[in-house]
Structure 1
Amino acid sequence: MPRSRLVCGILSIFLAAPSMAADLSAVTLVEKGTLTYGVAATFSPFEFTKDGKPAGFDIDMIGLLSKKLGVATNPMNMEFKGLIVALQGGRLDIINSAMYINEQRASQVDFVPYLKLGSLVIVQAANPSKITGRDDTLCGKTVAVTLGGIQESYARNDDKQCRERGLAGITVMTMPTAQDSALTVRQGRADAFYNSTPGAVELMDKVPGVYAVAGSEFENSTRIGMAVRKGDTAMKAALEAALKEIAADGSYKKLIETWKFPASVSLFD
């Protein structure tokens, strides 16, 4: 074989191989050659079900990362509250489900952050309850939130603050999904709901004229991340390396633009 063809052949093999920086060779996977991840596909636009399969920003992102890692993916769709238990029990390799990073969760799992988000107060377009934001106008009102989500924590804290100031408390209505929370406001069963900034952008785009934002973004430096088992440094390092690679090649930025997220969500300048 001519030397030039031999060199080209070796080069093509090298280029086709997974990057050594994003390496899973030191990781024992649930299924060899496959990254098994847990997802609660009820938090659009990050994860939802389309044609019977998980779809959304996180699903597209894990597809990009898996190519860098040289593995297939296997989503395990389950209730959000069961994700950490399933990871700790060895049924999952990672959690990929827009999990907000907080102190309680960080004591149970290790995180690989990939976005920073804010939240917004969403009301009916006519705003019959005259809510002006995350302020005293919420006191005495009903706020819908996703059960177990970060917005439930925000709402319960706001309820406490209303009561401490001698005002009527907030009725916190917990719903299975963000879509259910939105529906309760649309139907007038709740006065407002808390939603992530990207989720609010998607909502306004899909059903224009139905909802409005009250006030400004809050908690806008909260990070979400993929979760790995506590102390699983090899998996954490591999995911971090793959994430840096998709940021470097521009696909991370393109993914944000494709899903119409505000540029402020990016962790990479």
Structure 2
Amino acid sequence: MTTCSLARVNSISGRLTLSLLAALTVIPLLAGSAQAGSLDEIKKRGLIVATEDDFRPFEFVKDGKPTGFDNELIEDLRKSAPFEIKQQILPWTGILAGVSTGKYDVAITAAIITKERKQSLDFTSPIADATHYYVKRKDDKSIAAIKDLNGKTVGVQAGSALLARLPELGTLLEKEGGKLGKVVEYTSYPEAYQDLALGRVDYVVNTIINLQTLVTEKPGVFELGQAVSGKSFPAWAVAKGNTELLEFLNGFIAKEKENGRFAELQKKWFGQSFPDLPVSFQPEF
């Protein structure tokens, strides 16, 4: 857990920042050996899939087994793909760097599409809505609207797109005569939620789906606030230029949508379906 000021936030451009730094470290070691695998290569050795270890409801581990929205889709992919699926369950940090350098073929996780990430990655069709909201303690009567976040301490995942877009919230607060308070960065969101419950931070920013899941699981502890960002969408990521694999994955997603499976899993894990998701998305940030 680390803390930073708004100036620090402005210098960080999302989860990709950590990923790019990691990539710069490992590229010399991987040169000549790690690169995006073609479909022909993948058919021979299998598809290396990286998923996150604890990002409910998209991916998490329960009773020693991977579960969640993305993990159920991976099981569907195993049944239809003409190659083996080799899944690696990892902490978030380093997943996208691993994809961009060829260590993994695809990140099947809810990676928010951003301008910076698109410099080194290509994204599938969006899989859900990822508009950013805040969550607070249910018994905290000092927060009833966005203006009440003035100067308060916020928790967010380190290296995340949500961290990169906190200045949007800062702008909203400035219009009300306020400002963004101290920012506390966490390795994972469960840590942030724990600190929120204990009063160590005043609110946490995450996507609407993640926070709806949290509030549903712990309605006596947390309360959902309002949107603090513009539209945002998560998708799966492959290395930049890996067109064959991208087309294959988009084809799989399209079939899951056509047969109703996609909406079924969205309702199961998100509590609602998203029938109007764009086929592709060009981010503003």
Matched to 1:99, the amino acid is A
Matched to 1:261, the amino acid is G
Q: Is residue 36 from structure 1 mapped to residue 48 from structure 2 by the alignment?
A: yes
1:71 is aligned to 83
1:157 deviation in Å?
Answer: 4.2
Q: Is residue 241 from structure 1 mapped to residue 254 from structure 2 by the alignment?
A: no
> How far apart are the structure 2 equivalents of 1:116 and 1:260?
10
1:257 is aligned to 267
Identify which range, 41-50 or 161-170, moves more after superposition: 161-170
Identify which range, 248-257 or 56-65, moves more after superposition: 56-65
> How far apart are the structure 1 equivalents of 2:110 and 2:117?
13
1:213 is aligned to 224
Taking structure 1 as the reference length, the TM-score comes to 0.80
1:187 is aligned to 198
1:147 deviation in Å?
Answer: 1.0
1:10 is aligned to none
Q: Is residue 83 from structure 1 mapped to residue 83 from structure 2 by the alignment?
A: no
Matched to 2:271, the amino acid is F
- Report which of the two structures shows the higher radius of gyration computed on alpha carbons: 1
**C-alpha distance 252-161 of structure 1, shift in aligned 2 (>3 A):** closer
Taking structure 2 as the reference length, the TM-score comes to 0.76
Of the three residues 165, 172, 189, the one matched with 1:154 is 165
Structure 1, unpaired ranges of 5+: 1-23
- Write the deviation string for residues 27-63 of structure 1: whole angstroms up to 9, x where unpaired: 422x836321112212111111222333211111122
Of the three residues 196, 207, 211, the one matched with 2:207 is 196
**C-alpha distance 27-230 of structure 1, shift in aligned 2 (>3 A):** farther
Identity over aligned pairs, percent: 23
- Write the deviation string for residues 119-161 of structure 1: whole angstroms up to 9, x where unpaired: 22100112243241xx332121001111112221232443466
- Write the deviation string for residues 57-113 of structure 1: whole angstroms up to 9, x where unpaired: 111112223323233322212232311221233221111121000000011110002
1:207 deviation in Å?
Answer: 1.4
Identify which range, 153-162 or 43-52, moves more after superposition: 153-162
> How far apart are the structure 2 equivalents of 1:152 and 1:244?
31
How many residues are matched?
242
Does the 8 A contact of 1:127 with 1:212 survive in 2? no
Structure 2, unpaired ranges of 5+: 1-36, 280-285
